């Protein structure tokens, strides 16, 4: 049955249109403060775990989001809440296949210091739009738990799958946040402008049935956030693969494409200043050349794509050419523990933080297909440290540490199919000034799933949490808890 309760629908066209959208907190957009994932306003950054395969009210894969509270002991030790479409004021109702939580983002949309929760629901059926039109919902944070919620945008047609991916950033300047939504073969942006908002299409192209990969960063060094989009197809009728950067064109009031790399298929994107020069860089995770189009090594040397490669394009001063300098690494790179093997999926998940607080960002990379001993697909994750030269030093070597469930001090045992590293995130969850790392393992415990907290980016004092330890319901179903993760 298509949903109708509290779902707002809007006409989407290739040209921008202006429509009303009220932030769920009821406040208008203001100049943003420091980025926060503090959903309950207690001063500790929280963690959002999307569980789109979760059962809700007996409905398989209706999906939910678990907001895990930060606190003096980090995430996992201070409880959590479960947000679903059965939560009061959240639009819609749980139905099989909705996949509520397929994408998640904790972000402070209105600058009040309390994060809102953005949730993608790509399987949502919408009245007058059809089956799997999809939607994105914004849930207000508050000191008393979830606040008011509203629909940000619904898909325009059947199988549009809006909400397959979502990010938010101030793309236009002046504190006007843009919520960028990925669907099937389309990326759109909703720019919040006080009492009103504008919806515009960023790109519409075949995307191989995959969710477009999204990230944000200041790639042209003009002081404003830009949008990174990646998508790829294989086979007939044509093969396409692109990583594209978009900036806001104030004159035309729409995003403008200013940089591309073609023929590169990626699973993850991440923005950070890995060489500490004050300019954002772009990391392409699990980068591989899709087709031979006479484009030379869009993911760096071909041998470094084995098992999954990470290719980094470095930023340049304002007026310079973004991405001219590049580095590539995989598990055969000096200083990266492990050996590159087909199916490792090195770089399939990426997150950025400055663990050692040296002014240069570090990159967290997951490889959910990594074999640990004889345990195929047990998975692993790496912390790759930034330096004055970036993620590789002048000799082409990395400085890194790797973790898996057989790492000393880490709870658990590496087992076949755990997929440890399928998702990674970072945030200062105990507010001690040092970022912590979280790693998801959706295949843990027969795909019930779990996540690991690594305080200060080390295995010392690490802890695991799961639906069972957090007291969530439906413990016998394969929920694949631990993917996706989001914190800031």
415-447: pLDDT as tens digits: 999 999 999 999 999 999 999 999 999 999 999
The whole-number average pLDDT for the span 377-406 is: 98
Report d(CA 147, CA 151) in Å as an integer. Answer: 14
> Could you give phi then psi for residue 71, rounded to 5 degrees?
175, -175
- Whether the pLDDT of residue 197 is over 90: the answer is no
High-pLDDT (> 90) share of the chain, %: 80
CA–CA gap between residue 204 and residue 470 (Å, rounded): 40
Q: Which range among 84-88, 130-134, 475-479 shows the weakest confidence by mean pLDDT?
A: 475-479
The three-state secondary structure class of 328 is strand
The count of residues in the chain is 488
* pLDDT of amino acid 13: 31
> How would you classify the pairing of strands 349-353 and 485-486?
unpaired
pLDDT at 27: 39
- The phi and psi torsions of 446 (rounded to 5 degrees) equal 55, 40
CA 363/CA 386 separation, integer angstroms: 7
Task: Report angle CA 268, 276, 249 to the nearest 5 degrees.
Answer: 60
The CA radius of gyration of the chain, in Å to the nearest whole number, is 21
Is residue 3 over pLDDT 70? no
DSSP string, 215-278: EEE-TTSSSS-EEEEEEE--SSS---EEEEEEEEETTTTEEEEEEEEESEE-SEEEEE-TT-SS
pTM of the model: 0.93
Beta bridge partners of 217: 226
Pick from 212, 56, 36, 46: nearest CA to 122: 212
Count CB atoms within 10 A of the CB of residue 357.
Answer: 11
What is the DSSP secondary structure assignment for residue 444, as one 8-state letter?
Answer: H
Can you read off the two tokens belonging to residue 7? 């779902």
- Residue 305 — φ and ψ, nearest 5°? -90, -10
Model pLDDT, residue 488: 76
Q: Does residue 28 surpass a pLDDT of 60?
A: no
Quote the Cα angle for 290-180-86, to 5°: 110
Residue 474 has pLDDT above 70, yes or no: yes
pLDDT band per the 50, 70, 90 thresholds, residue 20: very low
Q: Which pLDDT score is estimated for 175?
A: 80
CA separation for the pair 323, 284 (Å, rounded):
12
| Three-state DSSP class for residue 446 | helix
The confidence band for 25, taking pLDDT boundaries of 50, 70 and 90, is low
Q: Which domains does the chain have, with CATH numbers?
A: 47-486 (2.130.10.130)
Question: Which strands, in side-by-side order, build the sheet including 64-68?
Answer: 80-83, 64-68, 47-51, 485-486
Greatest mean pLDDT among 146-150, 174-178, 283-287? 283-287
Please give the span between the terminal C-alpha atoms of the chain, in angstroms, as a whole number: 37
Chain mean position to CA 201: 20
Percent of the chain with pLDDT over 70: 91
Q: Identify the bridge partners of residue 261 per DSSP, sorted by sequence position.
A: 243
**Which H helix or E strand runs over 445?**
helix 444-447
Q: Give pLDDT, residue 121.
A: 98
pLDDT level of residue 144 (50, 70, 90 thresholds): confident
For residues 482 and 47, the answer to whether their CB atoms sit within 8 Å is no
pLDDT-wise least confident of 43-52, 114-123, 138-147: 138-147
pLDDT tens profile 300-323: 998 999 999 999 999 987 667 899
Q: How confident is the model at residue 414 (pLDDT cuts 50, 70, 90)?
A: very high
State the average pLDDT over residues 194-207: 88
């Amino acid at each position: 049955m298509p949903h109708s309760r509290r779902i707002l629908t809007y006409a989407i066209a290739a040209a921008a249109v202006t429509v009303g959208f009220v932030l769920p907190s009821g406040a208008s957009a203001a100049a943003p403060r420091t980025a926060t994932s503090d959903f309950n306003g207690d001063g500790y950054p929280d963690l959002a775990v999307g569980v789109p395969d979760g059962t809700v009210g007996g409905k398989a894969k209706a999906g939910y989001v678990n907001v895990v509270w930060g606190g003096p002991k980090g995430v996992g030790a201070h409880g959590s809440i479960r947000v679903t479409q059965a939560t009061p004021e959240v639009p819609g109702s749980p139905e099989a296949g909705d996949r509520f939580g397929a994408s998640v983002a904790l972000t402070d949309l209105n600058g009040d210091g309390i994060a809102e929760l953005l949730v993608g629901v790509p399987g949502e059926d919408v009245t007058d739009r059809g089956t799997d039109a999809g939607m994105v919902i914004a849930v207000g944070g508050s000191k008393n738990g979830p606040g008011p919620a509203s629909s940000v945008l619904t898909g325009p047609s059947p199988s549009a799958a809006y909400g397959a991916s979502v990010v938010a950033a101030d793309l236009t300047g002046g504190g006007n946040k843009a919520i960028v939504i990925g669907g099937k073969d389309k990326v759109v942006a909703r720019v919040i402008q006080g009492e009103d908002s504008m919806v515009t299409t960023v790109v519409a192209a075949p995307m191989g049935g995959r969710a477009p990969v999204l990230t944000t960063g200041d790639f042209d060094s003009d002081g404003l956030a830009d949008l990174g989009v990646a998508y790829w197809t294989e086979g007939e009728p044509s093969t396409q693969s692109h990583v594209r950067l978009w900036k806001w064109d104030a004159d035309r009031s729409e995003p403008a494409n200013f940089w591309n790399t073609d023929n590169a298929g990626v699973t993850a994107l991440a923005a950070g200043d890995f060489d500490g020069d004050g300019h954002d860089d772009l990391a392409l995770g699990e980068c591989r050349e899709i087709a031979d189009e006479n484009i030379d090594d869009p993911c760096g040397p071909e041998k470094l794509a084995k098992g999954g490669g990470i290719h980094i394009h470095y930023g340049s001063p304002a007026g310079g050419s973004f991405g001219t300098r590049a580095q590539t690494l995989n598990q055969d790179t000096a200083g990266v523990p492990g050996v590159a093997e087909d199916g490792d999926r090195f770089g399939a998940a990426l997150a950025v933080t400055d663990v050692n607080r040296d002014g240069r960002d570090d990159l967290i990379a997951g490889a959910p297909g990594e074999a640990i001993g004889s345990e195929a697909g047990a998975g692993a994750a790496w912390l790759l440290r930034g330096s004055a030269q970036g993620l590789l030093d002048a000799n082409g070597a990395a400085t890194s540490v790797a973790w898996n469930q057989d790492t000393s001090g880490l709870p658990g045992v590496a087992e076949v199919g755990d997929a440890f590293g399928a998702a990674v995130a970072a945030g200062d969850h105990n507010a001690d000034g040092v970022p912590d790392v979280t790693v998801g393992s959706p295949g843990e415990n027969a795909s019930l799933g779990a996540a690991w907290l690594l305080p200060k980016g080390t295995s010392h004092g690490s802890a695991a949490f799961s639906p069972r330890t957090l007291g969530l319901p439906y413990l016998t179903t394969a929920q694949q808890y631990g993917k996706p993760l989001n914190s800031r």
